[in-house]
Chain A
Amino acid sequence: MAVPSRADGLEPERGAPATLVPVAVPPRSRARDLRAIVVVWRRELLRFASDRMRIFTALLQPILYIFVLGTGLSALTGSSGVNLRTFIYPGALAMAVMFTAVFSAGSIVWDREFGFLREMLVAPVSRGAIVLGKCLGGASVAVLQGLLVLVVAGLAGVPYSLPLLATMLGELALLAFTLTAFGVMAAARVETIQGFMGLTQVLLMPLFFTAGAMFPLANLPTWLMVVTRVNPLTYAIDPIRRAVFARLALPPAVRDRYAPGITWGGYHVPTAVELVIVGAMGLVMLGVGVLEFQKTE
């Protein structure tokens, strides 16, 4: 959105007022909705780029988990074959993306409080376009935040391999989209920023803790195993961990201990099914979000 350089004759003489040329706004169409999606998406990126403080504060938490918690706990396990920093890395990566995604969606509440939401909702475009633009924008911002965590992958013992990075990026994008949709759905109902922060803290931390982000998904007591299997976030973090561990040269027994994957009864859930679960959740929540915004005003 930089000031365009123009040589198209629209530039009036210096001092002379530019004349107003009337325009006609075309009726609603796919192309119009697409323009709306793009501009709402672009606004999220613009705001992210201008808020460097937020970028760094959002980086702090995953870095602490990986390098302080991971290193500290390594003293317990000794040399059992896997660096705990590597084990914690997928969970911390997911965490960075999760929180950024949900808080990006929270800007809807902010926009409502400062009136800008109204500017969007009174425009002659479909509400779906605005909600979708917001979700894609929040997801993009979250993926960018995830990219910053991917940069330090090597320090956590995760190899810099292009296919692995591409796989993780794709899985992060899906996670980011689903969590932004979740945030948008929540933001439609919450009136204040404090309310939104409270709600998401209450929901996100338990979800994160019971998603197996910080422990392996095997040999758990029944109650915890059930909780992890019900938690949709489990299906977003497990594929990332499996991708990382597939790249490490480890004895199968060690790999099975640290990245056992998800089982339903005896059934080993394949990665594709996990990703479909995450994507489907995202689409359902996006749909609910659109419906909620169609009801307002």
Chain B
Amino acid sequence: MTRLRSAGPAISVQALTKRYGTIDAVRGIDFDVAPGEVFGLLGPNGAGKSTTIKMLCTLVAPTRGRALVAGHDVSTERDAVRRNIGLVFQDPTLDGYLTAEQNLRFHAELYGVPRSAVAGRLRALLEMVGLWERRSSKVKTFSGGMKRRLEIARGLLHSPRVLFLDEPTIGLDPQTRRSIWGYIGELKATEHITIFMTTHYMDEAEYCDRIAIMDDGRLVALDAPQVLKARVANDRVQIRTTDDAAAIEALRRRFGIEAAVHEGSVTFSVADGAQFVPRLFAELEVPIEQVSVARPSLDDVFMAYTGRTIRDAESAAPDQWMRHVAAARGRS
């Protein structure tokens, strides 16, 4: 029984699947997360990120497949998993009528943190997130950013091996977002903690050591952000024209480029955008109102793997949902 748990990966997922009725939320995903890694799960709303994180946190039972967190099975060793993880959800889970310190003390008691260690950790964490001076204030007086920082401190109180952050910076101002990324960097350096997070902010995923791109319940790519970007060598060009259909047709005819409308602009990729734009103005007969050229970003990575931008995916989500519902009705 003395299995050396620290030697293995922090998270290990095999063929993990979740079905809700007839809807496949997660369709058999596999990945490992190394100890000390900052791992990002990236994808549009409805891709299955939240369901995945909930299965890893033992909040939702997998339909099939297996997941080990800190060496413990999420289905059969829920308690051991819960002792070893910290959770920060999208929606706050604080008691607004208690003070910041009372919220943390409640957590320490519930998780059985040794009494002698509580005061020291509580102070160190409140100082880290910049709330030590506000420890005696009721949480209902806190801003959204302060609440999120307090939740991060609370999630770390019992020294988890893995910290799960579900959209940790959603709805926060840029300054708070930066400071949250600051703590994550600090934690990585000092606590040797593994961080598993979901986000749909492409720019934030760049902070991760590795990212997995999720779309429609599947992992479509998994690597370091710079590796993923390097694979998409082309620049992205977006133009606004008076006649998009004619522009797409002209691009195909004259340049042999397949373009499509994304986010209201005709979008395509070329090897060197800066060189291509002058040719475009000279040779495209359709008037161009606006042009933008972008170096490869994770948005392009997402597009390269899924054929659409993440914003397309999000705006299409309601349609997809309707199709799911229609399909479910048809089958029953």
Contacts and interface: CB of A to CB of B under 8 A. Distances in A.
Interface of A: 1, 3-4, 6, 8, 10, 12, 17-28, 31-32, 35-36, 38-40, 43, 46-47, 50-51, 111, 114-116, 118-120, 122-125, 297
Contacts of B113: 23, 25
Given A23-B114, A47-B97, A123-B110, 16 more contacts: A10-B123, A12-B123, A20-B190, A23-B121, A23-B158, A25-B83, A25-B113, A27-B83, A31-B112, A36-B110, A50-B97, A51-B97, A115-B91, A115-B93, A115-B94, A124-B82
Contacts, number: 119
A6 B102 contact: no
B263 interface: no
Residue among A26, A47, A123, A125 having the largest count of chain B Cβ atoms under 10 Å:
A123
B121 A124 contact: no
28 contacts: A3-B136, A6-B119, A10-B119, A12-B123, A17-B124, A18-B120, A20-B121, A20-B125, A20-B191, A23-B113, A23-B117, A25-B111, A25-B113, A26-B114, A32-B112, A39-B110, A43-B95, A47-B98, A115-B89, A115-B94, A116-B93, A119-B107, A120-B110, A122-B82, A122-B87, A123-B107, A124-B83, A297-B60
Contacts of A40: 110
Nearest to B125: A20
A35 B93 contact: no
Interface in B125-152: 125, 127-128, 135-136
Interface in B71-106: 79-80, 82-84, 87, 89, 91-98, 101-102, 105-106
B92 A115 contact: yes
B191 A1 contact: no
B328 interface: no
A12 to B, nearest CB: 7
Interface of B: 57-60, 79-80, 82-84, 87, 89, 91-98, 101-102, 105-107, 109-114, 117, 119-121, 123-125, 127-128, 135-136, 156, 158-159, 190-191
B111 A21 contact: no
A18 B119 CA distance: 11
Contact of B80 (A12, A27, A32, A122): A27
Contact of B124 (A8, A20, A123): A20
Nearest to B158: A25
A127 B268 CA distance: 55
Contact of A114 (B96, B121, B135): B96
A10 B123 CA distance: 9
Contacts of B101: 1, 3
Given A4-B119, A116-B94, A22 B110 contact: no
A118 B117 contact: no
B135 to A, nearest CB: 7
